[in-house]
Chain A
Amino acid sequence: MRFDPWMLLDYWELLLQGTWLTIRITVMALVLGYLLGIGVALLGMARSRTLRAIAGTYVEVLRNIPFIIILFLVYYGLPFSGVRMPALFAGTLALSLFVSAYYSEIVRAAILALPRGQFESARAIGMSPAQAMWNVVAPQVLRTIIPPSTNMTLTMMKESAVLSSITVPELTYQGLVIQGNTFAPFEVFAAITLIYWMIAIVIAETSRRLEARVGLAQRQSVTRNPIADRYLSLERRPAR
């Protein structure tokens, strides 16, 4: 048995297709997951106890079951309620649900770490809750959420390999196909490792640039110590 990576060149098309689909799934789940995550984070800070409980349950459930079970529940479960969907759609949805639970916790923690006086001064001057969020809270939160969100996005990207189990033809699935044809599992998965690693580098680099850009606009502003602010402000009182 010889190590012969060159034979993979015959399958470059499949590898490329798989790579491209993995990237698309990751981006879709990032966007959809973040939209859901922001929604759940805001729900988790609502005044109504019921809404808060709903958000809490959502996060608890999704964080405490293996991703592959979420995937099976969505793919095999939803047809019972009359919804039929293609594997790609079900897989991306499951991935979005999975990652949204973590994104929502990141957003929630970042908002709670901001001194409450920031939101209150916007409200006191006449801004609606949405206007205060958009003009005062969101720009300050943006910077804090980028690093943890990047970590979560990397985890989610890697987790997308599980979609191969419901025949979504992403990178890992194509690897399995090629392996079936070539009987050269080591060469195939070495190549796939390399590709995942490169995708991860691109994600990390993109995030680094984004952070630098946001940071540039805010470098001057973020000199406060949020913990000191939180406990030294006489106007703040613990919520509830």
Chain B
Amino acid sequence: MTATLALKVEGLTKQFRGTTALDSVYLEIQPGEIVALIGPSGCGKSTFLRCLTWLEQPDDGFIEVAGQPFGRERIGAVVRRQSGREIDRIRPRIGLVFQQLNLWPHLTALENIVRPQIVVLKRPREEATRRARDLLARLGLADRAERYPHSLSGGQKQRVAIARALAMDPALMLFDEPTSALDPELVGEVLAVLRQLAEAGTTMLVVTHEIGFAANVADRIAFMDHGRIVEEGPARQLIDAPRDPRLKGFLDLVLSHRDGPAPPLA
């Protein structure tokens, strides 16, 4: 018996009034693996993450999280759509860190992390607080627990958002362009946090246009274009020897901008 996959996506498809945002996407992620998802702007990366969390309902396809069907399940030849309640129960297994973070501004950093544990996982407040403080300490924010989001720096907010998702004990973390909303000098800080998570064995799917991060931290890279994953493979191999002409063009564009202004991607 093989180890249960952290994520298994089969034939995921999503259309918005005629435009196909996701065109039969297949992807498998092993526990502990880090996959970088790259691709030009508008190719469907954000839509993919939103479908994986069922914020957007995919038109077709199947998702399995840690061996558990999510959203739709097959019973023999019949496909059954899960109820809202079933979906809500599985959702904490997938931690999503939004591009805009979406911290809750009326709650302190600590309470942002504590509240969902209490409401969703029914943890007692003491246990939830202990878990939250532990995560804040690990992410170097022990002294920021009582602050409100507005008084935190961009990088600190990001770490609170990461802690909020991690506190739910997800099988998989999703990041949507974690560096794009930050000032350039903070990019290094966030990449260091992601590297730290990677060393702790967190399974991650990271949408990014930091080719350096993809090459050095990710185990695998998946390249998406027009809603399809057109090439995927070990990170270095994909960057050093791209096969698909579209990936070649994309890498040329990104790498030529590396030391210049930000690439016109996000």
Interface residues of A (CB under 8 A from B): 115, 117-118, 120-129, 131, 135-136, 139-140, 217-218, 220-224, 233-235
Question: Which of B93-101, B182-190, B220-228 is found at the contact surface with chain A?
Answer: B93-101
Q: Which residues of A contact B121 (CB under 8 A)?
A: 126
Q: Which residues of B contact A222 (CB under 8 A)?
A: 105
Tell me if B89 counts as interface (CB < 8 A to partner A): yes
A233 to B121, CA, bound (A): 29
Partner of B168, one of A125, A128, A140, A220: A125
Interface residues of B (CB under 8 A from A): 46, 50, 53, 55, 84-85, 88-89, 91-92, 94-96, 98-100, 102-107, 115-116, 119-121, 148-151, 164-165, 168, 176, 266
Contact sample, A vs B, 26 pairs, CB 8 Å cutoff: A117-B100, A118-B104, A120-B55, A121-B98, A121-B103, A124-B98, A125-B95, A126-B92, A126-B120, A126-B121, A127-B88, A127-B116, A135-B104, A139-B106, A140-B106, A217-B106, A218-B106, A221-B105, A221-B106, A221-B148, A224-B105, A224-B150, A234-B99, A234-B266, A235-B100, A235-B176
Q: Which residues of B contact A124 (CB under 8 A)?
A: 53, 55, 91, 94, 96, 98
Q: Which residues of A contact B105 (CB under 8 A)?
A: 140, 221-224
Q: Report whether B46 and A125 are in contact in the complex, using a CB–CB cutoff of 8 Å.
A: no
Q: Which residues of A contact B165 (CB under 8 A)?
A: 125
Q: Report whether B100 and A136 are in contact in the complex, using a CB–CB cutoff of 8 Å.
A: no
Given A121-B102, A234-B266, 9 more contacts at CB 8 Å? A115-B102, A123-B91, A124-B96, A125-B120, A125-B164, A126-B91, A221-B105, A235-B98, A235-B102
Q: Which residues of A contact B148 (CB under 8 A)?
A: 220-221
Q: Report whether A120 and B102 are in contact in the complex, using a CB–CB cutoff of 8 Å.
A: yes
A224 to B85, CA, bound (A): 32
Partner of A128, one of B84, B107, B266: B84
Which B residue sits closest to A218, measured CB to CB?
Answer: B106
Q: Which residues of A contact B46 (CB under 8 A)?
A: 234-235
B107 to chain A, nearest CB (A): 8
Of all A-B residue pairs in the complex, the 5 with the closest CB atoms, nearest first, are A121-B102, A117-B102, A221-B105, A126-B120, A126-B91
Partner of A135, one of B53, B92, B119: B119
B78 to chain A, nearest CB (A): 25
A128 to B91, CA, bound (A): 10
Q: Which residues of B contact A117 (CB under 8 A)?
A: 98, 100, 102
A115 to B101, CA, bound (A): 12
With contact pairs A123-B55, A126-B89 given, residues A118 and B102 touching in the complex (Cβ less than 8 Å) = yes
A129 to B85, CA, bound (A): 10
Q: Which residues of A contact B176 (CB under 8 A)?
A: 235
Q: Which residues of A contact B164 (CB under 8 A)?
A: 125
**Among B53, B96, B102, B148: residue with most chain A CB under 10 A:** B102
Q: Which residues of B contact A140 (CB under 8 A)?
A: 104-106
Q: Report whether A221 and B150 are in contact in the complex, using a CB–CB cutoff of 8 Å.
A: yes
With contact pairs A218-B106, A220-B151 given, residues A128 and B88 touching in the complex (Cβ less than 8 Å) = yes
Q: Which residues of A contact B84 (CB under 8 A)?
A: 128-129
Q: Which residues of A contact B89 (CB under 8 A)?
A: 126
Q: Report whether A136 and B88 are in contact in the complex, using a CB–CB cutoff of 8 Å.
A: no
A146 to B168, CA, bound (A): 35
B84 to chain A, nearest CB (A): 7
Q: Report whether A223 and B100 are in contact in the complex, using a CB–CB cutoff of 8 Å.
A: no
**Among A127, A140, A218: residue with most chain B CB under 10 A:** A127
Q: Which residues of A contact B116 (CB under 8 A)?
A: 122, 125-127
A117 to B102, CA, bound (A): 6
Q: Which residues of B contact A118 (CB under 8 A)?
A: 102, 104
Which A residue sits closest to B151, measured CB to CB?
Answer: A220
A234 to B42, CA, bound (A): 11
Q: Which residues of A contact B106 (CB under 8 A)?
A: 139-140, 217-218, 221
A175 to chain B, nearest CB (A): 45
Q: Which residues of A contact B107 (CB under 8 A)?
A: 221
